[in-house]
Amino acid sequence: MRGYQITFFTEQDRRQDGKPLGKWLMHLAKSLGLRGATLVSAAEGFGASGRIHSAQFFELGDQPLEVQMTVTEEQASQLFERLRAGEVRLFYVKSPVEFGNTCED
């Protein structure tokens, strides 16, 4: 199949509708019927502002997170429509990919 790999970048302390944004994105992916999504915690990173975000021993709120998913073109449209409707502001990378399983059931 052909589609996109989408990676969203955020921080541990960001929230949407009362939930941590990373987990909110995971629930959104599931509600849209996506095949899967992965939440990845990073040790350190920086964004457009140049400010360093990192996981500190006493404070994990600034810890960088990535949410990755591989989707069809239709699923990507639905996903971004929901993000726009909810006014969710996120930096993302969207790359065209080929995906599938090595062995079919």
Lowest mean pLDDT among 30-34, 61-65, 80-84: 61-65
Asked whether residue 20 is assigned to any structural domain, the reply reads: yes
Count: domains in the chain: 1
Asked whether residue 31 is assigned to any structural domain, the reply reads: yes
C-alpha to C-alpha distance for 75 and 29, rounded to whole angstroms: 9
C-alpha to C-alpha distance for 33 and 4, rounded to whole angstroms: 15
Which band of pLDDT confidence, cut at 50, 70 and 90, is reported for residue 12? Answer: confident
CATH number, residue 40: 3.30.70.120
Asked whether residue 59 is assigned to any structural domain, the reply reads: no
What would the two tokens of residue 40 be?
């990845």
Which band of pLDDT confidence, cut at 50, 70 and 90, is reported for residue 53? Answer: low
pLDDT tens-place string over residues 20-39: 999 999 999 999 999 999 99
Measure Cα distances from 39 to 49, 50, 105 in Å. Answer: 23, 23, 26
Asked whether residue 8 is assigned to any structural domain, the reply reads: yes
Asked whether residue 57 is assigned to any structural domain, the reply reads: no
Asked whether residue 39 is assigned to any structural domain, the reply reads: yes
Q: Which domain holds residue 43?
A: 2-47+70-98
pLDDT value, residue 33: 95
- Does position 95 have pLDDT exceeding 70, yes or no? yes
